[in-house]
Amino acid sequence: MSAAASHHITPAVREWIAEQARAGHSPQVLLESMKASGWEEDAAIEVLETVLRDIVEAHARQQALPSANRVPEPALNGAPATLWAHDREVRVVMALRDPRVVVFAGLLSDDECDEIVSLAGARLARSHTVDTTTGASEVNEARTSDGMFFTRGEHAVCARFEARIAALLNWPVENGEGLQVLHYRPGAEYKPHYDYFDPEQPGTPTVLKRGGQRVATVVTYLNTPLRGGGTTFPDVGLEIRPLKGHAVFFSYDRPHPSTRSLHGGAPVLEGEKWVATKWLRVGRFD
Ligand code: PD2
Ligand code: ZN
């Protein structure tokens, strides 16, 4: 066993070394002080090396972390059962602090879900026809889900939905992207990913010119698949069941895995799945 491993490094010793290092004392000076207070030289050296390396690594980690953004947040102080969202009462089903995940019921009525599916489906159907003319098979099994975007406020039902999300999360409508509608067939899934734009990717600065980073997502279920199709958060072993009209909100204050906002769409096992995704930016998405 090494000297450091055999020598338990107490929080007090760690704090003392950190304090001395902050005060600008060299490792040599620290070593002499430790020896003078009865430490064996080998043990003192190994403890110093361990603690100083930890301090340098923690500092580097902190430096590498992108700075935190403001995030949308529902008014959940006092643990209300319901929240008023523009023109409708929405129920709060569950809330998790870290990662920030909140599930709402009744963000859309059944009729509104059906209307959005029908408006989106018409456009998806058209894009399928285009595929057919190019000779591609009509249903491409390798494509996990079909998707389309509405522009903000494109239909009355979109505008109403967007106003609700803005009111519920205290975030300007102007900071939202247009709604995305996804359609999953049986077997389709959305592998775990982050919704923020990776600062390391070369294309990210261009994407950020319009609205800045994404800071939150609202996935609303437009139908109830028979089995499967939940939204998963693998870092915390959480799975949200897809129930028609329910929505899962999650936020991420910086574009970094430390937000634990990794999430995916589990495979649809039976039936199909329709969702509307709303991404919220830190600034105006014009
Ligand atoms: O459909 C979902 O459950 C899901 C899962 C993960 C949707 C998204 N991400 C998304 O649209 O970003
Ligand atoms: Zn996602």
Encode pLDDT of 196-227 as tens digits.
999 999 999 999 999 999 999 999 999 999 99
Instruction: Tell me what pLDDT residue 28 has.
Output: 94
Q: Count how many domains the chain has.
A: 2
Instruction: Tell me what pLDDT residue 206 has.
Output: 96
Under the banding of pLDDT at 50, 70 and 90, the label for residue 278 is very high
Residues 41 and 120 in one domain: no
Q: Look at residue 63 and tell me whether its pLDDT is greater than 70.
A: no
Environment of ion ligand 2 (residues, CB < 5 A): 195
Ligand 1 pocket check for 264: Cβ under 6 Å? yes
- Looking from the CA of residue 229, the nearest atom of ligand 1 is 3
> Distance of CA 86 to CAs 35, 71, 164, 268, Å?
68, 19, 5, 32
- Which ligand has the shortest distance to the CA of 268? 1
Q: Is 122 helix (H, G, I), strand (E, B) or coil?
A: helix
> Distance of CA 79 to CAs 85, 164, 249, 275, Å?
16, 19, 16, 27
The larger pLDDT score, comparing residue 144 to residue 3, is at 144
Under the banding of pLDDT at 50, 70 and 90, the label for residue 139 is very low
Residues 26 and 159 in one domain: no
Residues 95 and 222 in one domain: yes
- Bridge partners of 82, per DSSP, are 91
- Residue 69 counted as domain residue: no
Q: How far is the CA of 265 from the centre of ligand 1 (A)?
A: 5
Residues 17 and 94 in one domain: no
The larger pLDDT score, comparing residue 280 to residue 22, is at 280
Give CA–CA dist 47/192, Å, rounded. Answer: 40
Residues 91 and 185 in one domain: yes
Q: Where are the beta strands (DSSP E) in 15-136?
A: 82-85, 88-96, 101-105
- Residue 72 counted as domain residue: no
- Residue 154 counted as domain residue: yes
Residues 14 and 129 in one domain: no
Alpha carbon nearest to ligand 1 atom 9, residue: 264
Q: How far is the CA of 9 from the centre of ligand 2 (A)?
A: 42
Residues 101 and 44 in one domain: no
Phi and psi at residue 275, in whole multiples of 5°? Answer: -135, 155
Digit-coded pLDDT (tens) for 224-273: 999 999 999 999 999 999 999 999 999 999 999 999 999 999 999 999 99
Residue 90 is part of which domain span? 82-281
Instruction: Tell me what pLDDT residue 57 has.
Output: 76
Residues 87 and 55 in one domain: no
Residues 151 and 235 in one domain: yes
- Residue 119 counted as domain residue: yes
Residues 176 and 233 in one domain: yes
Instruction: Tell me what pLDDT residue 144 has.
Output: 72
Q: Look at residue 47 and tell me whether its pLDDT is greater than 50.
A: yes
The answer for residues whose C-beta is within 8 angstroms of residue 18's C-beta and 6 or more apart is: 51, 55
**Is cis: bond before 66, omega within 30 of 0?**
no
Digit-coded pLDDT (tens) for 48-62: 999 999 888 787 666
Q: Look at residue 3 and tell me whether its pLDDT is greater than 90.
A: no
The CATH number of whichever domain residue 90 belongs to comes to: 2.60.120.620
Mean pLDDT lowest among 4-8, 104-108, 256-260? 4-8
Give CA–CA dist 115/279, Å, rounded. Answer: 20
Q: Look at residue 129 and tell me whether its pLDDT is greater than 60.
A: no
Q: Look at residue 134 and tell me whether its pLDDT is greater than 60.
A: no
Residues 48 and 121 in one domain: no
- Residue 21 counted as domain residue: yes
Residues 227 and 174 in one domain: yes
Neighbours of 217 (CB within 10 A): 21
- Residue 235 counted as domain residue: yes
Neighbours of 242 (CB within 10 A): 26
Mean pLDDT of the chain: 91
Question: What proportion of the chain, given as a percentage, has pLDDT over 70?
Answer: 90
Under the banding of pLDDT at 50, 70 and 90, the label for residue 141 is very low
Residue after which a domain boundary falls, among 62, 95, 113: 62
- What's the token pair of residue 196? 């923020």
Any idea of the CA torsion for 31, 34, 35, 37, to the nearest 10 degrees?
Answer: 160
Ligand 1 pocket test: pick from 180, 275, 278, 280 the residue with the most ligand atoms within 8 Å of its Cβ: 275
Instruction: Tell me what pLDDT residue 124 has.
Output: 82
Q: Is 11 helix (H, G, I), strand (E, B) or coil?
A: helix
Question: What proportion of the chain, given as a percentage, has pLDDT over 90?
Answer: 84
- Most trustworthy range by pLDDT among 56-60, 140-144, 158-162: 158-162
Average the pLDDT over 102-115 and give the result: 98
- What's the token pair of residue 25? 């004392």
Question: Comparing C-alpha atoms, which of 259, 276, 265, 267 is closest to residue 196?
Answer: 259
- Residue 73 counted as domain residue: no
- Residue 67 counted as domain residue: no
